């Protein structure tokens, strides 16, 4: 039977329920226990013949005639309800048979019983409709096979696919572990603006919108409040962090999304050396607490997070890989090497070198810290006193990808202004990802900002642990509307 005909049949069942005085969408229904608690307390409930009410979605029917076996799922667990003609009025049983479908939410009342096959069940003496399903569910045995359909109707994917459901439970736990890790170390959780008059804190193209009340264009933030959190260091807070949504008007890939959740934290009187130890501990803590292991597969790499992590020098690695020195090469030299490696449109040495690095990193399994990055690639980090021309920045390398970045924060307002000015020059030359001058941030820094360490990582870390694309690990990834 076609979906349209099935829907019409269900509408007739809904009307039948209404004709006998039933409400297909009541405000509330009897529910004394969750299914999980019912199963946990089953032995005592059965021994005491205690009457209980369960509510949930009908996932399947079995049986016929005078007895039905109905699986009910309420989000906590699944249990079997046994519906027999002999245990309720004939009218109530017939109404159940004539109006209840797979997908409906129902409330069932009765006593715990163990079937002849040893299955923990509820012997039903009464029932009410909780919410009538109009459109039939896909078969739970097959679920949604088409990726596009799975993303568009993610609620069905979660309902019918236990693996998907459990992944999103892990995602919630992932962020809770991160939050607890920082709170246990006396960090203050803060909220910073999502709408900004100047997007800053990262190299990215922002989304632009219009603020009607102020009659100005504003930007959706491209990082989780980096420049705002550093203002809070100026304000006297020692340790701050934020977990929130970030928006970047850029391309889509297995590792890139337009809006996603990210963490950023900042600690005064620290630096990137201490920060590397803290970040390694954070990643290892997530691995152990959430997955019970420290070895993961990603992009054909086996990554063991335990122990110490090696360091890889950015410039040395590119010299070996492409015979180019990022510290001395010119724009033309960098662009020539980039073109020779299939990279087009690199408008300056920064974009060319960064694009070459994106090729080189794919062969690095990690875990490793990438260090020794040129100043021109990081306008917000302190200059290295040990290696001229570079900054005290590291990136976490896992399975051929960059998954987290931290650095000793630049707190010299004069140097910061000069770096922003260079970024503005690049922007005027056509580099849309170059950062903008932020006068209010520089003014805050001029009041005095303590030396500090800052770090940011997005939900890409969770997708690494799950060995899935970032779109797969988002509940509702952005989709082009159906035509």
Tens of pLDDT, residues 221-250: 988 889 999 999 999 999 999 999 999 888
Q: Structure tokens of 406? A: 């931290």
Mean pLDDT computed over 452-479:
94
Q: So what's the pLDDT on residue 270?
A: 97
User: Span 379-391, mean pLDDT?
Assistant: 93
> To the nearest 5 percent, what fractions of the chain are helix, strand and coil?
35, 25, 35
- 146 or 130, which is more confident? 130
- Characterize the bridge pairing of strands 78-84 and 120-131: parallel
Average pLDDT over residues 316-343: 90
- The residue-averaged pLDDT of 271-276 equals 96
pLDDT on residue 344 = 83
pLDDT over threshold 70, residue 461: yes
Angle (CA) 287 289 291, round 5°: 55
Q: What is the mean pLDDT of the chain?
A: 92
> For 3-131, which CATH class?
mainly beta
Q: Name the one residue in this structure whose structure tokens are 């990262």.
A: 202
Helix (H) or strand (E) holding 220: strand 216-220
Band of the pLDDT at 426, cuts 50, 70, 90? confident
347 near 429, Cβ under 8 Å? yes
The b-or-e profile of 338-365 (16+ CB within 10 A means b, else e) is: beeeebeebbbbbbbbbbbbeebbeebb
The CATH topology of domain 158-309+366-466 is BirA Bifunctional Protein; domain 2 (3.30.930)
H helices of 41-195, in order, are 42-48, 90-99, 147-152, 154-160, 162-183
Q: What are the boundaries of each domain within the chain? A: 3-131, 158-309+366-466
Query: Between 207 and 149, whose confidence is greater?
Result: 207
Q: What is the pLDDT of residue 367?
A: 97
The 3-class secondary structure across 299-324, one letter per residue, is CCEEEECCCCCEEEEHHHHHHHHHCC
pLDDT in tens, 2-37: 778 999 999 999 999 999 999 999 999 999 999 999
């Amino acid at each position: 039977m076609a979906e349209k005909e099935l829907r019409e049949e269900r509408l007739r069942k809904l009307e039948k329920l209404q004709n006998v005085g039933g409400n297909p969408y009541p405000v509330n229904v009897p529910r004394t226990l969750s299914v999980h608690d019912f199963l946990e307390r089953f032995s005592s409930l059965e021994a005491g013949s205690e009457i209980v009410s369960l509510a949930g979605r009908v996932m399947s029917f079995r049986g016929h005639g005078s007895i039905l076996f109905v699986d009910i799922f309420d989000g906590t667990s699944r249990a079997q309800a046994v519906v027999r003609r002999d245990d309720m009025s004939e009218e109530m049983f017939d109404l159940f048979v004539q109006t209840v479908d797979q997908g409906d939410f129902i409330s069932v009342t009765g006593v715990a019983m163990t079937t002849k096959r040893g299955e923990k069940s509820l012997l039903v003496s009464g029932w009410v409709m909780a919410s009538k399903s109009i459109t039939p569910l896909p078969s739970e045995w097959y679920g949604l096979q088409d990726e596009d359909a799975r993303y568009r109707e993610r609620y069905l994917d979660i309902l019918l696919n236990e693996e998907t459901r459990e992944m999103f439970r892990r995602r919630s736990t992932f962020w809770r572990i991160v939050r607890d890790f920082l709170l246990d170390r006396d960090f203050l959780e803060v909220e910073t603006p999502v709408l900004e008059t100047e997007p800053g804190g990262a190299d990215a193209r922002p989304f632009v919108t219009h603020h009607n009340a102020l009659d100005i264009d504003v930007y959706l933030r491209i990082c989780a409040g980096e420049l705002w959190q550093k203002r809070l260091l100026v304000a006297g807070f020692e340790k701050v962090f934020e977990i929130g949504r970030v928006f970047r008007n850029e391309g889509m890939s297995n590792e890139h999304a337009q809006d996603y959740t990210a963490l950023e934290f900042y600690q005064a009187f620290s630096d990137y050396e201490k920060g590397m130890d803290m970040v390694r501990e954070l990643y290892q803590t997530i691995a152990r607490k959430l997955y019970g292991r420290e070895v993961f597969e990603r992009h054909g790499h086996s990554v063991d997070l335990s122990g110490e992590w090696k360091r890889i020098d950015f410039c040395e690695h590119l010299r070996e890989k492409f015979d180019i020195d990022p510290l001395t090469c010119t724009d033309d030299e960098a662009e020539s090497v980039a073109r020779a490696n299939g990279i087009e449109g690199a408008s300056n040495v920064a974009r060319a070198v960064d694009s070459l690095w994106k090729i080189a990193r794919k062969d690095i399994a990690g875990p490793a810290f990438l260090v020794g990055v040129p100043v021109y690639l990081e306008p917000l980090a302190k200059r290295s006193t040990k290696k001229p021309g570079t900054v005290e920045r590291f990136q976490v390398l896992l399975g051929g990808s960059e998954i987290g970045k931290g650095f000793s924060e630049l707190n010299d307002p004069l140097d910061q202004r000069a770096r922003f000015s260079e970024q503005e020059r690049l922007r005027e030359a056509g580099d849309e990802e170059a950062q903008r001058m932020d006068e209010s941030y520089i003014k805050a820094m001029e009041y005095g900002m303590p030396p500090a360490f800052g770090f940011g990582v997005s939900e890409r870390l969770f997708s690494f642990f799950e060995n899935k694309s970032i779109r797969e690990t988002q509940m509702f990834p952005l989709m082009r509307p159906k035509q």
